[in-house]
């Protein structure tokens, strides 16, 4: 008999009852150090007092009202995102996939309105992940996730991540945009080189394409800057954000320049829940903390400490770990032994991590961790690594 919850997930036999900072607790009191963060969502850890206060305060006033009306907190969050990024305007949805859908609609409409409806194709990278809707699945082009859902949404071409020559060769008169994750998350924590990101900007400009960065996973401070592409000193035309933006409350956003989004006029796009007062109150509260003086430099400092410790671990256990990769607090340990086995062992020792492609273990701690959390995680990683034959 099919379970009441549609069985689309492979789940661990473990349920949490409570969270506090970087820790999760089961109902029977077992404690876990959470280096999964709900897959890069709980950027401020669990039950952060400032977020709890914002949620409760807004919850007592107004949860929802339609986008038929003004929503002051939505305007405020949009203005703050605009003030702190390349973007001039923001559309709010509820998830990463919706943010990518909005980006795809903007790039098609941009060319359509400029008299080039034939320019509708988007070049994306193999190994990418952009969500589970029909269009975002086609955008990523992962055959494993597309299986059974044919026909695929039309209009996507795929090239190797990091290869500018292949990308240039794939451009045709029908190409509208380039869609890239500055750091591929799901695909195995593969960080683009800064030169590659700069090259993407140059190619987009040369051929009149829009450049879309999907920062759903790598954005919101995880790289040590608010958005990962900032390290390269170049800006996209459109950017998708979600996961960390609500710190655990479902919020997504599509940011764009005025040039790209001028075509998005009244009636061109919409969402019932997108940008509702409750979501916006929490999103603003997340920004209060992440944009506070010294917060991101502290993320960068702790990330460098963790990187150094993990490098030593990888060097010490070459029969367990092959490589450390990623940036900031979006880190990947590529394993020699099966990653799922290591993840199980880490969990048994009280450390939560996430699997990714290419036999990688993702480490996605909340951005609020300090030295003690790093030491605790390293102790567990070392114990688990040492349990393998050396």
Binding-site ranges for ligand PLP (CB under 6 A):
95-97, 100, 129-131, 181, 185-186, 214, 216-217, 242-243
Complex with ligand PLP: residue 137 or 281, whichever CB lies closer: 137
CB of 142 to ligand PLP, least distance (A): 12
Taking the least distance from each CB to ligand PLP, the nearer of 103 and 351 is 103
Q: Which two tokens stand for residue 71?
A: 């929503």
Please say which residue, 21 or 244, places its beta carbon nearer to ligand PLP: 244
Say how far apart CA 41 and CA 331 lie, in whole Å. 15
CB of 29 to ligand PLP, least distance (A): 31
For residue 28, count other CB atoms closer than 10 A to its CB.
6
Residue in the structure block whose two tokens are 């960390």: 244
Exposure string over 296-332, b if 16+ CB within 10 A, otherwise e: beebbebbebbbebbeebbeebeebbbebbbbbbbbb
Query: Minimum CB separation from ligand PLP for residue 292, in Å?
Result: 25
Dist CA 134 CA 151 (whole Å): 9
Q: Which helix (H) or strand (E) segment is 383 a member of?
A: helix 371-386
Cβ closer to ligand PLP: 37 or 374? 37
Q: How far is the CB of 99 from ligand PLP (least distance, A)?
A: 7
- Cβ of residue 129: shortest distance to ligand PLP, in angstroms? 5
Q: Are 215 and 222 in contact (CB under 8 A)?
A: no
Smallest gap from Cβ 349 to ligand PLP, in A, equals 27
Residue 151, preceding peptide bond in cis (omega within 30° of 0)? yes
Tell me the DSSP string of 275-311.
Answer: T-HHHHHHHHHHHHHHTSTTHHHHHHHHHHHHHHHHH
List the beta bridge partners of residue 360. Answer: 334, 356
Is the CB of 141 or the CB of 185 nearer to ligand PLP?
A: 185
Q: Report the residue closest to ligand PLP, judged by CB.
A: 96
Given the complex with ligand PLP, which of 86 and 129 has the nearer CB atom? Answer: 129
Quote the CA–CA distance of 204 and 194 in Å, as a whole number.
Answer: 16
Provide the β-strand partners of residue 330: 327
Minimum distance, C-beta of residue 170 to ligand PLP, in the bound complex (Å): 21
Minimum distance of ligand PLP from residue 183's CB (angstroms): 9
Token pair in block for residue 273: 């829940």
Question: What single DSSP character describes residue 46?
Answer: B
Give the bridge partners for 361, in sequence order.
Answer: 333, 355
Cβ distance to ligand PLP smaller for residue 139 or 381: 139
Tokens of 241: 């954000």
Nearer to ligand PLP, 21 or 136 (CB): 136
């Amino acid at each position: 008999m099919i379970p009441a919850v549609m069985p689309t997930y492979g789940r661990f036999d473990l349920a949490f009852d409570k969270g506090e900072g970087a820790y999760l607790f089961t109902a029977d009191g077992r404690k876990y150090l959470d280096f999964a963060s709900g897959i890069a969502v709980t950027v401020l850890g669990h039950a952060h007092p400032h977020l709890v206060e914002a949620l409760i305060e807004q919850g007592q006033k107004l949860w929802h009202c339609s986008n038929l009306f003004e929503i002051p907190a939505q305007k405020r969050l949009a203005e703050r995102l605009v003030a702190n990024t390349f973007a001039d305007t923001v559309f709010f949805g509820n998830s990463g996939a919706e943010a990518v859908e909005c980006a795809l609609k903007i790039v098609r409409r941009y060319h359509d309105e400029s008299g080039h409806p034939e320019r509708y194709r988007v070049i994306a990278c193999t190994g990418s992940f952009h969500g589970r809707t029909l269009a975002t699945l086609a955008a990523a082009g992962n055959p494993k996730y597309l299986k059974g859902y044919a026909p695929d949404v039309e209009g996507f071409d795929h090239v190797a991540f990091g290869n500018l020559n292949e990308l240039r060769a794939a451009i045709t008169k029908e190409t509208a945009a380039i869609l890239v994750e500055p750091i591929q998350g799901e695909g195995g924590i593969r960080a683009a080189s800064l030169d590659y990101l700069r090259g993407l900007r140059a190619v987009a400009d040369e051929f009149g394409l829009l450049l879309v960065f999907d920062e759903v996973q790598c954005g919101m401070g995880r790289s040590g800057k608010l958005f990962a592409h900032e390290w390269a000193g170049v800006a996209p035309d459109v950017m998708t954000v979600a996961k960390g933006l609500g710190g655990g409350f479902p919020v997504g956003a599509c940011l764009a320049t005025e040039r790209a989004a001028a075509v998005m006029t009244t009636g061109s796009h919409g969402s019932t829940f997108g940008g509702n007062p409750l979501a916006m109150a929490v999103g603003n509260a997340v920004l209060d903390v992440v944009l506070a003086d010294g917060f991101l430099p502290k993320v960068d400092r702790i990330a460098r400490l963790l990187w150094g410790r993990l490098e030593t671990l990888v060097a010490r256990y070459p029969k367990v770990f092959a490589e450390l990769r990623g940036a900031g607090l979006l880190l990947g340990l590529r394993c020699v032994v099966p990653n799922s086995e290591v993840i199980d062992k880490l969990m048994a020792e009280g450390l939560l991590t996430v699997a990714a492609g290419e036999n990688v273990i993702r480490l996605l701690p909340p951005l609020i961790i300090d030295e003690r959390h790093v030491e605790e995680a390293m102790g567990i990683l070392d114990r688990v690594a040492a349990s393998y034959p050396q």
